[in-house]
Structure 1
Amino acid sequence: MRKTVIATALIFFTAITPQLVSAHGGASGIVKERMDLMDDMKGAVKKVAAIFKGDIEHNPDTIRDAALIIRDHSGDAMTKLFPTDSLSGHSEATPAIWQEWQRFQKLSDRQVKLAQGLYNAADNKGESSQGHMMGSQSMMGSASMMGSDSMIRGDEKMLHMDDPDYLGTMPASMVFKMLTDNCSSCHERYRKEM
């Protein structure tokens, strides 16, 4: 799981780096503002990815600092930078953002919750505060996570997967994976391939 998290984050952000560098040339106004915002978040993700890759020691303060950057650059802070008239030649945004505005907004709002959850989970290395080990047990299938007595309990747990307090009980690497998956969901659909 840990290697999957790192690989996903690094592949995603390594792939977009050349496009960001070339797209920034000549960008101005709101397009440049959102590119700068994305650069800030990319830098924050790289710092956390380095921890889970094992390049640097687990440092909860580094994770919390990065989570705050991501949280504060998501939600309304992000969506306000996508007015309908902002598809200049330098923009990487696709028209699908405005065609699916509610979905785009939900992904951005979810990023706020996931980033706060990462902040809350920063101290959790490989084990959640509830004692659930990361690794061979899946989040969905684990009897210790879901409860084996009914599907209702499982549904109830799933309702909490966007609750920052609940996320704070999980391993930080697991929450980070959820966060980078959310980023990917948005970028795959709403960002042009350059």
Structure 2
Amino acid sequence: MNTRKIVTGAVLASVLGVAALAHSGATGVVKSRMEAMKEMQTAVKAIAPMMSGTAAYDASVVQDAAETFGRHSGEALTASFPEGSIEPPSEALPVIWQDWDHFEALARQLGIMAQGLSLASENGLHGGSGMMGNGMMMGSGSGMMMGGSPNMMGMTAEQIGQMPADGAFAMTTQVCAACHDRFREEDD
């Protein structure tokens, strides 16, 4: 199994933890944001098999997923978390409002990643396993850190758009995972 499949699987498992969200009883802004998270989960599920090479690649499906991520990023994401909106069944943690700048930065970063993924969709998948192993995506200096915050070194959507789509997808899901790891209650 190559590194790309291992990393994509690990990131996907983290992001798809959202599947445990129980929408019953949710109302108002909590229900709206849970529905937005469900839409992003559906987008991840739609393209993850393509990114791991287990389904045929379709750039239009990747673009649709990127649109979904973009629609629920930035101000749209932060607006769905008014202070104190943690009533059950929300899994949001109070640390969101204690570390709002970090949360807001991740929301903005998701938008950049979504734009980059859309641009990268036409590039197809990386032909080999070298990309994930060369430090471009993982490691100490220039990419995303597993389980941590995204490296906010200022990559633009255009720079991300030069990557193969699976690399841009991995970066996008890393932003999701970083936010979930910090700001969402762990599933039992």
Q: How does the TM-score come out when normalised to structure 1?
A: 0.80
- Structure 2 residue aligned with 1:62: 61
- Going from structure 1 to structure 2, the CA distance change for 1:140 and 1:25 (only over 3 Å counts) comes to closer
1:160: how far off? 4.8
- Of residues 135, 139, 142, the one that matches 1:138 is 135
- 2: CA distance between counterparts of 1:185 and 1:116? 18
1:123: how far off? 1.6
SS in 1 for 2:123: coil
Q: Deviations over 1:69-98 (max 9, x none)?
A: 101111111110101131112111000000
- 2: CA distance between counterparts of 1:39 and 1:2? 25
Q: Stretches of 4+ moved more than 6 A in 1?
A: none
- 8 Å CA contact 2:15, 2:173 repeated in 1: no
One-letter code of the match for 1:93? A
- Which runs of structure 2 are paired with 1:97-136 in the superposition (5 Å)? 97-127=96-126, 134=131, 136=133
- Going from structure 1 to structure 2, the CA distance change for 1:135 and 1:183 (only over 3 Å counts) comes to closer
- 2: CA distance between counterparts of 1:140 and 1:66? 20
Q: How does the TM-score come out when normalised to structure 2?
A: 0.83
**Percent identical across equivalent pairs?**
39
One-letter code of the match for 2:134? Q
What is the number of residues matched between the two proteins? 171
RMSD over aligned CA atoms reads 2.2
- 1: CA distance between counterparts of 2:157 and 2:24? 37
